[in-house]
């Protein structure tokens, strides 16, 4: 791939060699990646894409893999997002924190 390429995966996590993608991002072999799903799911903390050097983390965007979500689940997710914003604004800890951030 060209160094200016951006890899987009909205299919399955298994399609992308995640270690190779992490290496390509770290070395600047490609410009970036948009990832809608990882392998395995649920993702493990040792996933190479979650452990990129800090200066490389801006090169990847993760999105939730929610194409098949029901209306009820979407409404619950939407409510949780706004509850988390409210908690944050009130100085409280939002729910579902990943990596204790």
Q: Which residues are annotated as catalytic?
A: 12, 41, 65
| Contacting residues for 76 by C-beta, under 8 A, at least 6 apart | none
DSSP element (H, E) containing 62:
strand 60-62
């Amino acid at each position: 791939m060209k160094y200016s390429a951006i890899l987009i995966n909205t299919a399955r996590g298994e399609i992308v060699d995640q270690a190779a993608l992490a290496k390509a991002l770290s070395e600047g072999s490609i410009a970036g990646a948009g990832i809608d799903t990882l392998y395995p799911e649920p993702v493990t903390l040792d996933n190479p894409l979650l452990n990129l050097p800090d200066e490389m983390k801006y090169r990847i965007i993760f999105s939730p893999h929610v194409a098949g979500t029901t209306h009820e689940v979407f409404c619950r997710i939407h409510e949780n997002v706004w509850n988390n914003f409210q908690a944050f604004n009130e100085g409280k800890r939002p729910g579902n924190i990943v990596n204790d951030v």
